[in-house]
Amino acid sequence: MRVLGIETSCDETGVAVFDSKRGLLAHILYSQAELHADYGGIVPELASRDHIRKLLPLLRQVLGQADLSKQDIDGVAYTAGPGLIGALLVGAAVGRSLAWAWGKPALAVHHMEGHLLSPLLEADSPDFPFCALLVSGGHTMLIAVSHIGAYRVLGESLDDAVGEAFDKTAKLLGLGYPGGPALAKLAERGNPDRFHFPRPMLDRPGLDFSFSGLKTYALNTLYEKGPEASADIARAFQDAVVETLTVKCRRALQQTGLKRLVVAGGVSANQALRERLKSMGAQENAQVYYPRLAFCTDNGAMVAFAGCQRLLAGEQVGLGFKARARWSLDSLPEI
């Protein structure tokens, strides 16, 4: 089965074609980072309008790269949530309309399921069951995964997602957008011994997260020490986040007894986090899996793959379509 995947949940327009026998045939990703940089963050209305401008040309381009026509597509998958409602509606409207016009089945994909399954696109992919750490601008979650659709949320952020905390702290430090990579780069120059930031919620049981207070701690330190301490503040902030995530992942593996950890979402590209999780995995005799760097951020390949799995299982949506700003991952049906 060949599935066309469409991703427009936030500020990236992603399109891809996945073949259930041959694997990923083509993928294209357009980032709106430059568009939103002047505003210091994502402007939802601008994001929606840019998806409208870019989506159809990218669809034609990805079909050309795959050397396919519309007759060669067996199904269309599009991200239906969670995300920015206007941006989601662009992809959902185009994806459902194309499927109807081409006489093909359509599938509404959960954005976080796409991230969760993205390491399965790699040659060295994890077997089920596994633990998953999903870390992005909008979500921080630990999940026990038995198989596709069998998800048990072990813990999640009670306030800011970790990617959101990175971006907000970067903005406090006067860094550009997107803030996460900029903060990580600045942290490389920081003194790891100058500041020690708190590790939120490590002094209590459970696997939930909280990063809002850590952001405030960074702000207070900046006020006290001044802008010349920015690199050291960035380093202390990143070290606190990385240690917190690593300790929670260790707890999740120990509590579930699982020996495989999947890490996905935009923050999974952070090299300091990868190094700490690699060390933790070796200590716990656990294997850690990631998507390739190009698929850590939002992309069409993960949507095409996730959609293909559910279409093969017989799922499809009706003629109507809807988008969801919020959508519980553990509400998805098992396949």
Average pLDDT of the chain is 96
Tokens of 239: 């070290």
Q: Is 213 marked within a binding site?
A: no
Q: Is 138 marked within a binding site?
A: yes
Q: Is 137 marked within a binding site?
A: yes
In tens, the pLDDT along 31-89 reads 999 999 989 889 999 999 999 999 999 999 999 999 999 999 999 999 999 999 999 99
Res 177: pLDDT:
85
pTM value is 0.96
SS3 call for 31: strand
Q: Is 167 marked within a binding site?
A: yes
Architecture of domain 127-290: 2-Layer Sandwich (3.30)
Q: Check if 2-117+295-331 and 127-290 are the same fold.
A: yes
Query: Is there a contact between 290 and 296 (Cβ–Cβ < 8 Å)?
Result: yes
Query: Is there a contact between 3 and 109 (Cβ–Cβ < 8 Å)?
Result: no
Q: Is 114 marked within a binding site?
A: no
In tens, the pLDDT along 275-322 reads 999 999 999 999 999 999 999 999 999 999 999 999 999 999 999 999
Tokens of 188: 């490389």
Contacts 24+ apart (CB under 8 A), 32-36: 33/177, 33/178, 35/11, 36/11, 36/177
Res 138: pLDDT:
86
Torsion sign (Cα): 57, 62, 65, 70:
negative
Q: Is 330 marked within a binding site?
A: no
Architecture of domain 2-117+295-331: 2-Layer Sandwich (3.30)
Q: Would you tell me how many other CB atoms lie within 10 Å of the CB of residue 176?
A: 13
Give the length of the chain.
335
Q: Is 180 marked within a binding site?
A: yes
pLDDT surpasses 90 at 237 = yes
Q: Is 36 marked within a binding site?
A: no
Tokens of 165: 């905390």
Mean pLDDT of 226-238: 98
> Which segments of the chain does DSSP mark as H helices, in order?
33-37, 44-65, 85-102, 111-117, 162-172, 179-187, 212-225, 230-256, 271-283, 300-312
Query: Is there a contact between 289 and 262 (Cβ–Cβ < 8 Å)?
Result: yes
In tens, the pLDDT along 162-218 reads 999 999 999 999 998 889 999 999 999 999 999 999 999 999 889 999 999 999 999
Query: Is there a contact between 240 and 199 (Cβ–Cβ < 8 Å)?
Result: yes
Name 138's Cβ contacts closer than 8 Å, sequence gap at least 6: 10, 82, 83, 161, 163, 164
In the chain, domain spans: 2-117+295-331, 127-290
